[in-house]
Structure 1
């Protein structure tokens, strides 16, 4: 009996299952009927049920012609139900699986909505732009644009708009980002960048939706530019070890613009920044100046700071003229970087060649500042000496601010003592010079007076005023060679008895003759009641070039660069200046000799 009951139960269960399957087969809707029922649920705002129904249909009809509708509407129903994360996944999966669907633009549109709700405004704008790019002239694009415009105007930052312009430009077929970026830049006071953005928009959308507004904005900027001051940045070390030179640089610039404070009806505004001789501060100062939209920057003083400032200025797009920095290659750091003072390496090589070829000197020593630029100069001098058959017996370096140079002089003296001993042994020198006949012993070698063909000292005048007497104290007889640091009346006044016959190479000499120099010299002494030095004269020439450029209409960075690139045979107070055929690095070199209180030009 138990077996019969079990069999009946099993049979009954089988019949029920078969009947259920048969019933399901009878009630399973067609894809089209299922779509209509699901749409009825959606239109009745029963979004949760609609989402489930569309997802169910997508699963049971994977190959049906309505598959894209099922998938899209499932995501849209989730969105309407407020299940945004699930809806977002649904839309993105739809975009990936159906890249050619007619619902693609709408899918991006809803992804944008979801991003907006989560506060991701940049992502929202990116999705809106993609939606518009798919059907740019459709009703959908018109609706999307109506949502995009207030987003660009009110919610996105200047940084967001800049990012969009740089990274999703391929989707901005209407130029809407370019236009609103220009508006945001205009609001922030960045007129230069706004002008670039509006012009970029008009170049590709001359008859676009925002063309009239863009032209009006350009007119507004240009009208503003005719009344705003023309800003000129000045970088100089006004504190620290090189502050005296920094003050001279500023004095040279101010001599030009204190006397002509207005050009073409616009004020000239000098923005002066202290670099303290520090490259990091120089680069930071350039970035600070950028907010004032300067037409050009003059400075800084030394090469290390100039390199940092030139890189920063080039990145921002501001022309920079360094009057005095002379490291080779600074002008190559950007298309609007200019050097008035020739590379010190060229000056050093020219001096070495003159010393060997004209003066017949074959043996040299070097005591140089230890900074990178000075080491490059030292290398150029040494290379030319060896190239021409000479010898550098010793090279030493000192730190900025150093006052005791004994450790730098001693190695040179020691080498010369050894060479003297060799000459004594060879009978070339009378040994009695170094022998104390009364005490019956050799003099201490530290007291030996030794000779050296020439000692190359490429430092600054304040360093030389301390260094040269210490060389004499260490009983080294030599002829001094140097660069522009020697071209200083103050140096001659302080240690003139030590440096007679010293020879130096420079691009400028303050005792020059000619109308330009005489005019500058007179004006400088009248204003500051002191003799002008090299730094002031070179800075004056840089400022005079800028003044001439402005008088010729170069009031923006681009027009300033265009003008300076054409400068050729400009006779300044300090030297002749050429940028046109010299890769923006001037190349004037002269050689002088100190004679009494005069500087005689030798070459």
Structure 2
């Protein structure tokens, strides 16, 4: 009987152990699946699997699964849930070996919510409890990014009181020195940097240390901190990255000395929802005086809507329609609007060139239609005449229909001109005019022989009656349109937009000689594009970033505040940069009305002046 009981007991124990073993194996597989999902960026799946494992209450997996759950929730930006998970980790496992990773995750969580002071604390604590070199480097990179935001000295002084590690002390001192440079206190920064032992400073901070040492020898000047909302990933990433590169170049320019710039760039990921998230993070950073953005129309509307109740000024660098100003009263349009560009083109052709009969060829899209409507209205107001408006859709590989119609209109104008000239040229004797002239006297006159002109002959006739053709095209259209214009024999003034600033296309043998004398109206005067092996659009954004940054360094600010920054922008009368001008509209001082007037001589571009509403400022040429 005893042996039977013993056998049953052993069988029961063996069965229980087997079940536990099987359960552990299943849980292990689930955990590995959750880890794999996290690494692949499938954070929602990782969160779901982790939650199920924790519900099993398997002590061997709880601690590491809670950490994985925390990291997944942080990645999903679930702030409240992540804080609950973190509290459970600290409560259940106060001496956890995962403490550095928990602190890192909390730092990431605070970064997501733009609480940079708390994030710096968490990353600093992660370093304190860590002895892994690779992890240390990872944390140093995150600390470096936070230092460049300009942390308050009170926070750093607080951390120094409790810090004994020489390496960590050096990092805090470096952060203080950076803030002092930002506040325009190079002498104080020099004293702080003198306390740092370079041999005890991580390599991740070496470049910043050298940069601060150089800055500490420069004269005192304030630093303007600007947020950038740019698409650094997604469909528009090329444009965003080139804008950022250009902005950084202008930021480091020595052309202006009113103030230097410090930037905090956030990736909008070419997405409207992400743009809203990024903007909400930026506006909560007190150090930021303004936000700069090269976003397109749709994303800009999301951005402006998110900032509707904020006092932070927003500078949109790409062209927009004037209506976006109604969304946010703190928005400034650095590249003007489609309406203003259309009006200025009309004023240049009618008012400055004195031309009357004008044709338009343009792509059929909403933005250009707004521009052409403004152009036609302004031409009419000035007493000119738009004789034809031709649209095209898609790639303009063959504009035969559009240009043939322009020739038809030109022929009709030619006939009207001849009839008018004949009427004006009739010479009646003053005595004959005293008598009645009967129409019958003319009926018996022989009719002149008319020679009919073939279509082939008519295409060879050079037509002058259309005095100007306005072609505001897309940048990718020039390679198709450029070679077609010479084929239709117009002796006319060609006026284009910024998209025509592509010298490698215009200087081709079948284009350049025929377009000699054309004019371009553009926000920017682009130079040296041949030295860059990048697309015209990306180089344009590079230049736009560069010139925007230089423009900001030229501003005169009474103090580093958002209101002072806004007032400085509104008080600008005229800014003249290297290829960019800012001349606000009289009716709305938040919209730039200045455009570059550029002439093409068949081989190169020359800046001829600056156009603004009702104004032409001619560039004076100086002898070398």
TM-score of the pair, normalised by structure 2: 0.47
Instruction: Tell which structure's C-alpha radius of gyration is larger.
Output: 1
Query: Whose RCO is larger (CA < 8 A, sep 6+)?
Result: 2
TM-score of the pair, normalised by structure 1: 0.49
